[in-house]
Chain A
Amino acid sequence: MITREPTYSDAAGNAWVGVWRAAVLELGSIGRAGSMTAQSLVMLPLLLATRRSRRELARQLYITGIKSLALITIVGMFTGMILGLQVGLELRRYNQELYIGSAVMVSLLREMGPFMTGIILAACVGSSMAAQIGTMTVNDEIAALEIMSISPVRFLMAPRMAAMVLMTPILSFYTCVLGVIGGGIVGLTQLNVPWAQYINMAMDVAHLRDLYVGLFKALVFGIVVTSVSCYEGFTTTQGAVGVGQATRRSVIVSILLILVLGYIITRLFYDL
């Protein structure tokens, strides 16, 4: 069962026992989240099996993608503008502000696009997932599902996972496009870089490999956010307070994992 009694029923005898129990519990939590993630990924094809599940998938796609679009647009645009301004100000010292297109494009494709998308989805969609599932958990709705032999992972987590797996790379690409446009606007208005020249410089350095690595990174971030958020939701306890804590933890852990995994993926794909 996803919802279950605490592992330890008695109090820890001393500090070392407490540390040991905490380590075991953390490892168990990680393993549980990993198992849930694996199950949800395996169940993704089943979402296309029934009409109800397809409708649920479409609903999750709408929530994840369309409802986040406004925020993603603003964040993506301003991310590009900030990048263009900062890089342009530095390059202007060497009269090389023409190269902001290259810097903005490379930064967004490789790192900033997926990273900002992951952060936004963790804050918007992930927290919403954790709160929704957490509320269901504290209201024993998850337990009811399990009693009815309905897998909560398949019923609740798999559609959200599918939606995030599909939408995160798309939103990441969208962020990159808007970021490049934002950088171009700053270049045009603040640094006197002609638009055509900005685009030429940006396209010169844009390689498909950078795009693919960025999209892969976004895919991983989507899986991480969904896994963390759903896990936090499924393990929520202590009523409304627990829901708040689960929501907060889901955002914190998601952002931390996005940062750590972002670095690892970047390092694995790019040699020094």
Chain B
Amino acid sequence: MLAKLALGNVRKSLRDYTIYFITIAFGVCIFYTFNSIESQQVMINATESQQMALKLLGGFMDAFSVFISLVLCFLIVYANNFLIKRRKKEFGIYLILGMEKRSISWILVLETVLVGLAGLIFGIILGIVVSQGMTLVTAWMLNSEVTAYQFVFSQIATIKTVIYFGLTFLLTLIFNIITINKQQLIDLINSVRKNERFTPPHLIRSVLLFIGALGCIAVAYYLMSQGTLFNDQVISLAIIALIVLGTFVFFLSLSGFFLKLLQQCKGLYLRNLNMFILRQINSRIHTNYVSMAFVCLMISIAIAALSSGTAIAGAITAEQRDDSPFDATLSIQRTIAKGTDELAVYAPLDIPRALQSQGIDLDSLGVSWVALPLYKGPAELNIQLPDGYVSDLVPNIIRLSDYNAAAALRGEKPLTLSDGRFVLRANQPEGVWKDALVKYLEGNPTIDIGGSRLSTSLELFNTTIIETLATRTTALDVIVSDAVVDAAVQNGSILPVHRTIVDIDYGTQTKESTVVDDALAQLVNGRSIVSADGVELGFILETKNNVMQTGSSATTIISYIALYLGMVFLIAAAALLAIAQLSETSDNVSRYRLLCKIGTEERMLRHALFCQIAIYFGAPLLLACAHAFVGILALNSTLSTMKGMDLLGSSLFAALVMVIIYGGYFLATYLGSRSILDREAIRQIAVD
């Protein structure tokens, strides 16, 4: 009997349950998809390091899923509470008819289980479908190929989804039962009337609060634009506090402010239903401002996550490409403890001969290679950067001819250097570090090497990367003419070579680069060169493939986490608004009915409804866009040591996700509300 009632209720309030159901299904789908990433690797032809990356990603997803499930749990409990509140009268009638509270709780249990189970099953099915496509994306992002297509069903993800959402539904149930048991019959019966209590707005206070809110937000924006967001914890907390406070007060006072503003221009205020719309929003602002502020903050996080996540990922990929100008780089480095007599331990290292002596024949691999010795500069060569930057940087010294040989290997034009000049080279095409060097060079500095005074200027600044690097270092090099180096070595004013890099180009074998990588690794593996003072120096091999893979793994992890967080927050925000607006439309049916009675055009009514919902969805979105924009700019300036992030592209991507999810919920809300308006007001004018 109770089951029949519950089933009937669900069917009857299908409209109320639609958004609730969609939200559960979406949440489950996303949850399953991202948690199934680890299982997707069966389809991907992943290298060992990529498998590691996938495992790492799986771990991240585990950690984030706990947080995500809390967000979804909150959302589902909230949505459920809304449905319960709207049905108080129905429960009151059950009680009057003599039903026990326990039975009503049972009806609720059955209903929750019914809808939850349906949402769960539907969501997992959707998730399985989506995760198939996701595998292709993962493979693409990892620069890897999909082996043979294989249907992937992740048992772990399914079990996890069921457990997390099962717990959520359990929590919902407990909340429902508490709500029902707390209620007094009289309140349930009168709940409809009780909802419509009206408190008049204090418009002047709203205007003042609104100005205060804008002030808070402006101060926070100013602090963020100063690039202090990530540097100082106290200031970071202050910024966050100001943004949160500003956002809450903003929505508390927004409608009052605009009401006051529009009342001043009667032409607009007294046109069509404008004053009705504004009053309508204003009258419910006390119940709605908290949810609007939450929604705004959630969308801010979502936009920031979506756009900066993809931007950072893009930047990593771009940087990785720049950082691997050669197919491979073999390097040997001699590091010594401070205080040792450097001149004594460094013996000139002739790499080609050393390689030969070890029986390492690079030519046998059919590759072209160039050895680039780096001389260690003396401490006096210390480059004095402007205040506020690290200043004990002793550059390496590179012969012009060696540099040009490497440039020729890359297919670039040789560098020419007039007498008495030198070139400063750094691994930093952009960023704070580069700015410091530019400032230094603007002073047209001079250095002394081996008795010659050399000068340079900004035009000579060189940011070409001369080796394949795993991470971009802050190393500085000074390129000088061969004659100067030779003289300096002879008179002992510079230290000998302490690091040699061997840049390797695979030439025609680029296609089989991984084969050459392996051959190269095998060639140098376990080999070493003994320095003059008897220290064994091992080879360090960095290949382009390796650098790119590390980059793509990082890219994949960052992108997925951003996507995961962004989408869940977006869905949570949009669903929150949708549920609140649908129930508000139902609450306002009697007002719309009155407007119909006195002959308001249907078009005008629908327009009013549209405006209301558009304002409820639009206002948090606009403020969130502003928050996210300033936040991303701050993030950008902090992380700008990376090569310029593609903010436009990633913002477009964020906008697309936004339009699909948020726009979809907006449309669903408007259509749902319009059908309530049509059904219960326009076609039912006579009912009181």
Tell me, yes or no, whether A binds B: no
